[in-house]
Amino acid sequence: MKELKILLILVVVVLVGYWGIEPYAHSVMHGEVKKPDYNYSDLKTTAATTGDPAKGKELFVANCASCHGLKNDGINPGMDKNAAITSFNVVPPDLSNIAAIVDHKFLAAFIKNPQQATENPKFAMPPMAQLSDEDVGHIIAYLSSVAKKNLDGKEITIEACGRCHSIKYQKIYAETPAENLKAYLGKVPPDLSVMGKAKELEYLETFINNPQNGLPGTSMPRLGLTKESTEKVVAYLDQIADPHREQRNKLGMWVIGYLVVMAGLTFAWKKKIWKNIH
């Protein structure tokens, strides 16, 4: 029985080490993680989030299309990519699917005052003070009418993160050159290829929801993603960071089972050989 107790202790230690050490290390590194605020309760805005899509298109063309394209409706930006990089040090995003992944309250507050909404005083887009609260609602209605529904995690990650972040293991490269990103943000944003393994998933969700909660003083702007979009991004980052985890875990269980069987056979063989010694 002594040998079986030792075996049981070893099995428990191995399992705790395999499944427990990494989450524990992340909890020590990140400390207490704040819960995401998907209501964006700090944003106080009177801007509408609904309106007339037809009026919204007119307003978009007049006020937004000089920098932003909308491929879903065949609208190209008035400024080409190189000119935009020279002017802003970052590529203005195409807004085709923005209304499908960003909370509409956040989007309304963002249009009125991007610096306040993103919590980044150096955010390149100027406040759209010329737009009334009603105008903002029309623009959001238009953006909602052209946005694709049910985007997957990869598509949302590229939409939300691809201007600044590369994911080189997936052959996804940042739209903005590294030297311009450094001038805009103060440093080159990290590659996201293994971020889902390097960071606890709960931490990533909180960080994406509000970077200042995860890393105070960071230059990354708040994105305003919905809960569903954030969860899809985190799930995608988790999957690409360790794409063979499921197969490895299954193989690990077979290996543990094999070792347990062999230990049992060894113990039975030992009992048979030594039974007449005592």
83-104 pLDDT, tens per residue? 988 889 999 999 999 999 999 9
pLDDT of 243 higher than 70? yes
Compute the C-alpha angle 79/81/84, nearest 5°: 60
pLDDT of 235 higher than 90? yes
Q: What is the DSSP letter of 65?
A: T
C-alpha–C-alpha distance, residues 113 and 55, integer Å:
21
pLDDT of 25 higher than 70? no
pLDDT of 51 higher than 90? yes
What is the CATH architecture of 33-241? Orthogonal Bundle (1.10)
Q: What pLDDT is stored for residue 1 in this prediction?
A: 63
pTM: 0.80
Q: What pLDDT is stored for residue 2 in this prediction?
A: 72
Q: What pLDDT is stored for residue 117 in this prediction?
A: 96
